[in-house]
Amino acid sequence: MINDITTRGLDAVNAYGLTQKAMQASANTQDADGGTQSSDVVSGFSDALQNALKGAITQGKTAEAQTAAGLSGQGNMTDIATSVEEAKLTLQTVTTIRDRIVQAYQDVMRMSI
């Protein structure tokens, strides 16, 4: 049986890979002069975050579809358990990222000018 730490590590590797692909796609669409502007960096981060959220939503929908198939007597129990566990880990990852973003915002707001 795969333990929780191993699956979290695999999820992190997949998330990093998706982010890297999004950043490379953003870099390929830069201006011909090759310069990186701050708006390019922000839009690249925004695109990466949006793609990650879309992936999380897709993962949740897949788990729901697998669960519905299981409740109707169809589907493989291994596939159902795997998809539900992946959705759980994705939700935990999204929650952790949200918490860190909120914490970073609060840290910035506490800074004295």
Residue 103: pLDDT band (50, 70, 90) is: very high
For residue 15, what pLDDT is reported? 66
Distances (CA, A) of 100 to 15, 96, 107: 16, 6, 10
Stated pTM of the model: 0.54
The predicted-structure confidence for 38-58, as pLDDT tens digits, reads as follows 566 667 777 877 888 888 888
Please count the other Cβ atoms lying within 10 Å of the Cβ belonging to residue 63: 20
